[in-house]
Amino acid sequence: MIDMKELKERILRDGKCFEGGVLKVDNFINHQMDPILMKSMAVEFVRRFAHKKINKVLTIEASGIAPAIMVGYLLEVPVVFAKKKVPVTMENMLATKVYSFTKDRTYDVCMSKDFLCPDDKVLFIDDFLANGNAAKGIIDLVKQAGAELVGMGFLIEKSFQEGGEWLRKEGIHVESLAIIESLDNCQIKLK
């Protein structure tokens, strides 16, 4: 397994801790984006899921879109993002509810059935894995569509929250490029 040294160094250099176990990575992932690092991370996902058959990359707006499009570009497969606002024009909708712990609210997540079909083999990509609520919502949408979830890839997993453990117990192939063990006392502790 290639150690994502570049990502880890960047987290330590530019990441900022916030109350309640939130890490801000706004100058290379979540607001300003570093496309070179984003590409390296996508290459690593492609390597880690190389033995899997994937014909679609799925993510959730907004922050999952950048890494997902890089992965989809490398795999040469379509990228679909689940939407957090229900468009009035959407037909054939799949919908679920997701609780956001950073925003402390529940929102509806939806996508068109036209872009998630029973024969799809889906790789989900997102920026963060925390309690796994976004991931659970995606699992629900994939189930509703009758598609197959091949794996889930996260740029950053916070292992002091329960999402990673839950997903792995469910037998899902989870890959995280950097794992944060603790943000206690505003200190970033990486695995």
Residues of this chain that interact with ligand 5GP (CB under 6 A) are: 22-25, 30, 63, 100-102, 126-135, 158, 163
DSSP summary character for residue 71: H
CB of 66 to ligand 5GP, least distance (A): 12
Torsions phi, psi of 19, nearest 5? -50, 145
Paired tokens of 124: 């989900």
CB nearer to ligand 5GP: pick between 25 and 178: 25
Q: Which of 133, 134, 153, 156 is nearest to 52 (CA)?
A: 153
Bridge partner residues of 158 (DSSP): 180
The amino acid sitting at 66 is A
Q: Which of 80, 32, 66 is nearest to 155 (CA)?
A: 66
Paired tokens of 168: 């792995």
CB nearer to ligand 5GP: pick between 49 and 81: 81
The CA distances from residue 115 to 10, 46, 122, 124, 186, in Å, are 35, 22, 11, 14, 41
CB nearer to ligand 5GP: pick between 55 and 140: 140
H-run or E-run covering 43? helix 35-48
CB nearer to ligand 5GP: pick between 22 and 95: 22
Count CA within 13 A, CB hemisphere, residue 42.
Answer: 21
CB nearer to ligand 5GP: pick between 2 and 168: 168
CB of 182 to ligand 5GP, least distance (A): 12
CB of 119 to ligand 5GP, least distance (A): 27
CB of 23 to ligand 5GP, least distance (A): 4
CB nearer to ligand 5GP: pick between 132 and 151: 132
CB of 26 to ligand 5GP, least distance (A): 8
Question: CA-CA distance, 81 to 63, in Å (whole number)?
Answer: 10
CB of 118 to ligand 5GP, least distance (A): 26
